[in-house]
Amino acid sequence: MHPVFLKFGIFEIRYYGLMYAIAFFLGLYLAKKEAKRLNIDTNLIEDYVFVAMISGLLGGRLYYVLLESHYYFAHPAEIIAVWHGGMAIHGGIIGGIIGTMIFAKVKKINIWTLGDIAAAPVILGQSIGRIGNLMNGDAHGVPTFAPLNIMLGNDFNQWWAEYLKGMHQGLKNLVPWGITFPVGTPAGNEFPNIPTHPVMVYEMILNFLAFLSIWFIFRKKKLAKGSLFFIYLIEYGVIRSIVTIFRADDLEILGLRAPHVASLIMITVGIYLLKKKNSKV
């Protein structure tokens, strides 16, 4: 795995940035296609996609910095060093929602309509973005020999410290598809020469399946405005809750994994609003 796609002298194109660009333009195409179906001005959607992307990136960075404030307060210059990593998808979702609310109010367009237009492009973009994580070796998983009960119990860090002391040796890989990342990547530095769960691939596949369900199934059903967005919240909340079990680098809130907390909120809100909005349809 290597983070650089192409390099010309001092100029380089990284996979992460390339995946962002692909996700943006493909998402814009899908959003405009859906806008046409709903008889909405596509020029308005171009502006909206740009606003949502910027607010999502800002939200993702701010969320990460706040949860890792002990580090960033000690190294304030690193706050803007996004090329060193440090984005959180749940913060990006929050930022995107805030950007959508502001845009909807300024342009006087129904916020749930915008949410429906964004649902499929966003989850597809998240799927594409995980390719960048794979090439970077970040957003990585735990070693494939880590017991499932340790991962479920959120005791991995303590267990890993004991493993490094030689208290857990000779363990067998539980799955055959682990990936060993090179030293110099976040995964390779933390787990040198050790196969890890390719959680980026897990989420890439699950996100793509969620995209297919929203675009080809739920989009064609007679549902209340906002329903596609609510389904996105539910589906991604479930996906991230599953994937987080195998992640080694997730943030924490009061000793709990932050993605589990945020995902539970997403699922609960999504189910509540989906039922409420469709009760009269």
171: DSSP letter:
P
Residue 260, strand partner residues: none
Domain assignment present for residue 35? The answer is yes
Find, among 259, 145, 123, 146, the residue nearest to 204 by Cα.
123
12: Cα separation from own chain's centroid: 24
Other CB atoms closer than 10 Å to residue 177's CB: what's the count?
A: 11
Domain assignment present for residue 100? The answer is yes
Domain assignment present for residue 232? The answer is yes
pLDDT, tens digit, 9 for 90 and up, residues 185-238: 999 999 999 999 999 999 999 999 999 999 999 999 999 999 999 999 999 999
Domain assignment present for residue 191? The answer is no
DSSP secondary structure of 120-158: HHHHHHHHHHHHHHHHHT-S-B-BTTS-HHHHHTT-HHH
Q: What phi, psi does 257 have (nearest 5°)?
A: -65, 125
Residue 130, annotated as binding a ligand: yes
Domain assignment present for residue 235? The answer is yes
Q: Pick the range with the lowest mean pLDDT from 24-28, 81-85, 179-183.
A: 81-85
Domain count of the chain? 1
pLDDT, tens digit, 9 for 90 and up, residues 231-273: 999 999 999 999 999 999 888 888 889 999 999 999 999 999 9
82: DSSP letter:
G
**Sorting pLDDT into bands at 50, 70 and 90, what band is 90?**
very high
> What burial class does residue 38 get, using C-beta atoms within 10 Å of its C-beta: 0-12 exposed, 13-18 middle, 19+ buried?
exposed
Pairing, β 11-14 against β 4-8:
antiparallel
Domain assignment present for residue 149? The answer is no
- From first CA to last CA, the distance across the chain in angstroms is 49
Q: Which pLDDT score is estimated for 170?
A: 78
**Sorting pLDDT into bands at 50, 70 and 90, what band is 86?**
confident
Q: Which two tokens stand for residue 110?
A: 């129904």
- Domain of 77 in residue numbering reads as 4-141+198-278
Residue 281 has pLDDT above 70, yes or no: no
